[in-house]
Amino acid sequence: MTVAPETTGPVIEQVRRVRTEVPGPRSRELLDRQRAALPAGLGSTLPVFVASAGGGVIVDVDGNSFIDFGSGIAVTTVGNSAPRVVARATEQLQRFTHTCYLVNPYESYVAVCERLNRLAPVPGPARTALFNSGAEAVENAIKVARAATGRPAIVVFDHAFHGRTLLTMTLTAKNKPYKQGFGPFVADVYRAPMAYPYRWPTGPERCAEEAAEALVDLIDRQIGTDNVAAVLVEPIQGEGGFIVPAPGFLPKVQQICAERGLILIADEVQAGIARTGTWFASEHEGIQPDIVTSAKGLGGGLPIAAVTGRAELMDAAPAGGLGGTFSGNPVACEAALGVFDEIEEHDLLTRAQRIGETMLSTLRDIQRAHDVVGDVRGRGAMIAIELVHPGGDRRPNPELTTRIAARCHQEGLLVLTAGSYGNVLRFLPPLSISDELLNEGLEVLRSAIAAEA
Ligand SMILES: *Cc1c(COP(=O)(O)O)cnc(C)c1O
C-alpha cells in the first residue's frame, strides 16, 4: 500500500478505486434525503458522500476512492486533515471554542495576522483583520478602500468571481448561476476587460497593452478618476477559468492605480497561500497590491479569511467598523497556524511548483494530440485546460467539458469545471498528493479526453 508524503493525516490507502456505480447505493440514499431537506440551489459537482479524505484521495460512503484534483476548491492545499492543522485545532477545541474577538481577544488571532503581515506582498507596514469567508474578506477590503479614500466607485474585470453576497455577486462577472434573479445589484461597480491572452481579439501580443488602455479609459473618462476608490483584480482568475493575465498587465494595473491614488486590491482568495508555488500569486508578476484578500487555503479546511493591507489604509475604518461575531474563530486561527507550519516544514511552495511542471508537461502533450484542448495554462498547483470545438476557431465547447468531467468522475478522478463559457477543466490537487497518484490522475484525464473528443 502506498501512503502519501508525511503531510497525510490519518493513514488512508492512496489508491484510485471504483467499486460501485457512481454515485453508489449509499450515496443515492443520502441524495434522496438531501433532496427532501435542502434547497435545489445547493448542488454538488460529484454527489458522492464523503467518509474520509487525506493525502491525494477522497473516500466515499460506498468505499469508492477518488483521486482528488479539487481540494474542496483550493481549500485543502496542505492536504485534508493535515497533522499540524488537526493537532492545533484539537488542542484549541479543548481549551475554548469561542469568545468573540470583539469581546475577549486571544493570541492565535494576533499570530495569524503577524504571519500574514510578513508574508503578503503589501508594501510597507501591514495590518490584517480576519473574517469567515472569501466573500466577507472582499466585502471588507472594499469597506476599507472606501473609508480610506472617501470615494465610492469600484473597478472590476470581466470573468471575475468575488463571491455570492450582494456586493460580491455584483462584483462577479458571470450572470448564471451567480446573479440571475438575485438583483437589484449594488451601485458604483464598473467592469473593465480582462487581459485574457487566449481570447484577446487582436491576439496575445497586444493583449496587456490594449487591456490597460481600456482600463484607463474606463477610469478617467467613463467613471471619472476622482470617483474611484479601488481596482479589484484576481492575479489569476479562479472561477473565470484560471485566466493568467497577459504578462505585464498586472504591473500596468498597479502603475495606473499608483499614478491616480487608487487602491489596488488583489483578491487572492483562490490563488493565495502556496497554491501557485508562491505564498501569493501577485508575486509572480512582482506586484505589490495595497490590500490582499486570502481565504480558501488559509485554514486547511476550517473557515477563516483575511484582509491584509497597508497599515494606514487598514486603520481608516472606524473602531467597531470591522469584524464580526465569528470572525477569526480560535479553532480556525490555530488551524491557520498549522497551515503555515505545514507549508514551511514540507517546503510546499517547491512542491506546488513541481506539481505544476508535471501537470503542464502532460497536459501540453495531451494538447498536441487533441486540438479540442485549445489552451493549457496556470501556475503551480492551479492549472486548467480550455476546451473548444475542433478546427482551430476557439469556439467554447462546454458540452465536451461536461462529458469529460463526467467520465473522469466515473473513473475515479475528481475534476472541477470553471470558465465564463463553462468550457474549462481546472486541476487543484492537494500538495500532499503523491507523484504516483498525480500521474495516474493525468492518465485518467488523457483517456477521458481521447474517448470523448
Ligand atoms: C471562492 C472565491 C471567493 C468567495 O469565497 P467564499 O469563501 O466562497 O465566500 C472570492 N474570491 C475568489 C477569487 C474566490 O475564488
Instruction: Going residue by residue through the chain, which has 453 residues, state the pLDDT in tens, using 9 for 90 and above.
Output: 444 445 444 589 999 999 999 999 999 999 999 999 999 989 899 999 999 999 999 999 999 999 999 999 999 999 999 999 999 999 999 999 999 999 999 999 999 999 999 999 999 999 999 999 999 999 999 999 999 999 999 999 999 999 999 999 999 999 999 999 999 999 999 999 999 999 999 999 999 999 999 999 999 999 999 999 999 999 999 999 999 999 999 999 999 999 999 999 999 999 999 999 999 999 999 999 999 999 999 999 999 999 999 999 999 999 899 999 999 999 999 999 999 999 999 999 999 999 999 999 999 999 999 999 999 999 999 999 999 999 999 999 999 999 999 999 999 999 999 999 999 999 999 999 999 999 999 999 999 999 999
319 and 378 within one domain: no
238 and 115 within one domain: yes
413 and 265 within one domain: no
Residue for cell digits 460512503?
Answer: 61
Asked if residue 242 has its Cβ within 6 Å of ligand 1, the reply is no
Residue 419's domain comprises 25-81+347-452
- Report pLDDT for 1: 41
Asked if residue 172 has its Cβ within 6 Å of ligand 1, the reply is no
Query: Rounded to 5 degrees, what are φ and ψ at 310?
Result: -55, 135
Tally the C-alpha atoms within 13 A of residue 93's C-alpha that lie toward its C-beta. 8
Q: Is residue 186 part of a domain?
A: yes
Atom of ligand 1 nearest to the CA of 295: 7
CA of residue 370 to ligand 1 center, whole Å: 32
Vertex 207, ends 201 and 213: CA angle to 5°?
105
Give the CATH number of the domain where residue 406 resides.
3.90.1150.10
Atom of ligand 1 nearest to the CA of 270: 15
**C-alpha grid cell for residue 259?**
499614478
CA of residue 137 to ligand 1 center, whole Å: 9
33 and 73 within one domain: yes
Q: Is residue 1 part of a domain?
A: no
Q: Are 143 and 317 in contact (CB under 8 A)?
A: yes
* pTM of the entire predicted model: 0.97
Q: Is residue 32 part of a domain?
A: yes
351 and 288 within one domain: no
**Which DSSP letter does residue 424 get?**
E
Amino acid residing at 382: M
- Report pLDDT for 10: 55
Give the CATH number of the domain where residue 156 resides.
3.40.640.10
Asked if residue 163 has its Cβ within 6 Å of ligand 1, the reply is yes
Query: Rounded to 5 degrees, what are φ and ψ at 313?
Result: -75, -50
74 and 105 within one domain: no
CA of residue 13 to ligand 1 center, whole Å: 31
Q: How far apart are the first and last CA of the chain?
A: 34
Query: What's the rounded Cα separation, in Å, for the pair 437 and 9?
Result: 17
267 and 142 within one domain: yes
Beta-strand relationship, 382-387 and 416-418:
unpaired
CA of residue 263 to ligand 1 center, whole Å: 20
Tell me the longest C-alpha to C-alpha distance in the chain. Answer: 63
Q: Which of 59, 35, 53 is nearest to 412 (CA)?
A: 59
Q: Which of 295, 328, 361 is the last residue of a domain?
A: 328
Q: Is residue 406 part of a domain?
A: yes
Asked if residue 334 has its Cβ within 6 Å of ligand 1, the reply is no
CA of residue 441 to ligand 1 center, whole Å: 26
Q: Is residue 432 part of a domain?
A: yes
Q: Is residue 264 part of a domain?
A: yes
Q: Is residue 402 part of a domain?
A: yes
243 and 143 within one domain: yes
Atom of ligand 1 nearest to the CA of 132: 7
Asked if residue 234 has its Cβ within 6 Å of ligand 1, the reply is yes
| Domains in the chain, number | 2
Q: Whose CA is nearest to atom 15 of ligand 1?
A: 270
Asked if residue 269 has its Cβ within 6 Å of ligand 1, the reply is yes
Atom of ligand 1 nearest to the CA of 133: 7
176 and 238 within one domain: yes
194 and 260 within one domain: yes
CA of residue 162 to ligand 1 center, whole Å: 5
Q: Is residue 334 part of a domain?
A: no
Pocket test for ligand 1, best of 276, 296, 326 (most atoms within 8 A of CB): 296
110 and 75 within one domain: no
CA of residue 163 to ligand 1 center, whole Å: 5
Asked if residue 134 has its Cβ within 6 Å of ligand 1, the reply is yes
64 and 103 within one domain: no
Beta-strand relationship, 126-131 and 305-310:
antiparallel
